[in-house]
Amino acid sequence: MILGLLLVLISVGTFGFHVIEGWPWFKALYGTLMTVSTIGAEPENELSREGQVFNVALIFMGVCVVGFAIGSLTRAVVEFELGSFFGRRRMEKEIHRLKDHFIVCGAGRVGRHIAMEIASRKLACVVIEKDSARAQWAQAREMPLIIGDASSEETLREARIEHARGLASAVTSDAQNVYIVLTARGLAPDLPIIARASEDDAESKLLRAGANSVISPYHYAGQSMARMLTRPHVQHFLDLALSPLSDAGLDLQIEEVRVEEKSKLAGTTLAESEIRSRLGIIVLAIRRHSGGLEFNPGPEHAISVGDFLIAMGDSRKLKELEGLAGGA
């Protein structure tokens, strides 16, 4: 709009000088630009009485346009700053209320996919990224975000690490991941921590630093590509079942469901629970609260409090199973 007003002003001035003073078009344009820029249009005192009156009007209009432009720019800056301030305040309050959430350190390619997977499961997640350019990805999706160094105790406390459910350290530097894991483990001794490793020799260092598991994106990608070449149907099934972001038409997922103390499933067998017959869900394995894993359990296998049921089925039915296991 400001640019449009300026073009109209220049056009009016050029046409006015051309008609009133009889100047050639270029000289009229030059005089208009001199006037609008407050330098003046009559370096040789060439203006007639009518031209001087028109020049005064042109100067007045120019001042008005400049004033409008400055006012609009100031308002835009103030609105942006206020929006940013209140947006930060709102996000700080949201982060302060987080509990049983996940912390993703790094908003690079790996970190973004981790955050998207967590968000797609309707779970709380906060992203930590010190690069403001990369942080814009989380800001654009209105994800809870902290711009800072994830290896800093202050930053991790700001992310409420003491109330977190898990942490993923996914920055590109292995050394930085080691520092993040060391700091996080010192603040939260029992927190599940997953770390990214770019180099093979970094895995042992990250485990010694306190990571529960270490994932190499290159190693994982190599395995997936090999399966796609040798067992494409198996890989397609795994992609479909393990990620809610899959674009396939079949609504199939694999989830883990914890059996709570108030659940009706506690103390029953798989046959008595009717998970398969009533919900159409297949229990692939049971992770016992003691740590043991029972694969492909039979109908006589018992379900106990604290067990995790590794189940596969329709996502809506899996939600029902979560309700039953949670005592809802």
The CATH number covering residue 203 comes to 3.40.50.720
Does a structural domain hold residue 223?
no
| Together in a domain, 103 and 211 | yes
Q: What is the pLDDT of residue 53?
A: 78
Q: What is the pLDDT of residue 44?
A: 47
Q: What is the pLDDT of residue 257?
A: 92
Does a structural domain hold residue 240?
no
The domain total for the chain is 3
The burial of 104, by beta-carbon neighbours within 10 Å (0-12 exposed, 13-18 middle, 19 or more buried), is given as buried
| Together in a domain, 204 and 258 | no
Q: What is the pLDDT of residue 149?
A: 95
Q: 285-297: buried (b, 16+ CB within 10 Å) or exposed (e) per residue?
A: ebbeeeeeeeeeb
| 145 bridge partner residues | 127
What H or E segment, with its residue span, contains residue 328? none
The neighbour count for residue 132, using CB atoms within 10 Å, is: 9
| Together in a domain, 79 and 106 | no
Q: What is the CATH number of the domain that holds 16?
A: 1.10.287.70
| Together in a domain, 206 and 105 | yes
Does a structural domain hold residue 225?
no
Choosing from 91, 116, 142, the residue where a domain stops is 91
Does a structural domain hold residue 241?
no
Rounded Cα distance, 259 and 263, in Å:
6
| Stated pTM of the model | 0.65
The burial of 207, by beta-carbon neighbours within 10 Å (0-12 exposed, 13-18 middle, 19 or more buried), is given as middle
What H or E segment, with its residue span, contains residue 192? none
- For residue 227, CA distances in Å to 73, 113, 163, 216, 245 come to 57, 21, 38, 17, 20
Does a structural domain hold residue 233?
no
| Together in a domain, 53 and 104 | no
| Together in a domain, 112 and 82 | no
Whole-number percent of the chain with pLDDT over 70:
90
Choosing from 91, 121, 154, the residue where a domain stops is 91
Identify the segments of the chain with pLDDT beneath 70: 1, 37-46, 78-89, 243-250, 328
| Together in a domain, 54 and 130 | no
| Together in a domain, 122 and 207 | yes
Q: What is the CATH number of the domain that holds 271?
A: 3.30.70.1450
DSSP 155-189: HHHHTTGGG-SEEEE--S-HHHHHHHHHHHHHH-T
Q: What is the pLDDT of residue 271?
A: 92
Q: Which residue type sits at 47? A: L
Tokens representing residue 324 in the block: 């039953």
Choosing from 91, 115, 140, the residue where a domain stops is 91
| Together in a domain, 69 and 136 | no
Domain span at residue 16 reads 2-91
Does a structural domain hold residue 227?
no
| Together in a domain, 208 and 283 | no
| Together in a domain, 34 and 130 | no
